[in-house]
Amino acid sequence: MSDADIEALIQVDEVARGAGTVWRVNEPAVRAFAFSATQWRTTQLRTETGAKIYWIGLDYAGVRAGLDGLGVPITPDLWAGLMVMENEAQKALNEGS
């Protein structure tokens, strides 16, 4: 994981802890996303200039197990919000691929 990737995850975590501004309606999804930060599926791709990590998406079984373990109720709205955040994060993490 690059320094920029780590910084992006730290920023998400800070927002989840209240350091940023999140609409109250989105707080559960932001927290769930922060809790799920270790559940990314990745692969290594060879390029002309070396190798890079490609971020595939969240491991949904791992995310669900983690949220269940934390006692976070998983609702359709929470899951939809988590998927929106995953999609945007995936684009940012894979930027410049």
Gyration radius from the chain CA atoms: 14
pTM of the predicted structure, to 2 decimals: 0.72
pLDDT at 26: 86
The DSSP call for residue 17 is T
pLDDT at 7: 65
Of the candidates 50, 53, 48, 58, the residue with the CA atom closest to the CA atom of residue 94: 53
Per-residue confidence in pLDDT tens, the chain, 97 aa: 566 666 666 666 666 665 567 788 888 898 899 999 899 999 999 988 888 999 999 999 999 999 999 899 999 999 999 999 999 999 999 986 6
pLDDT at 19: 59
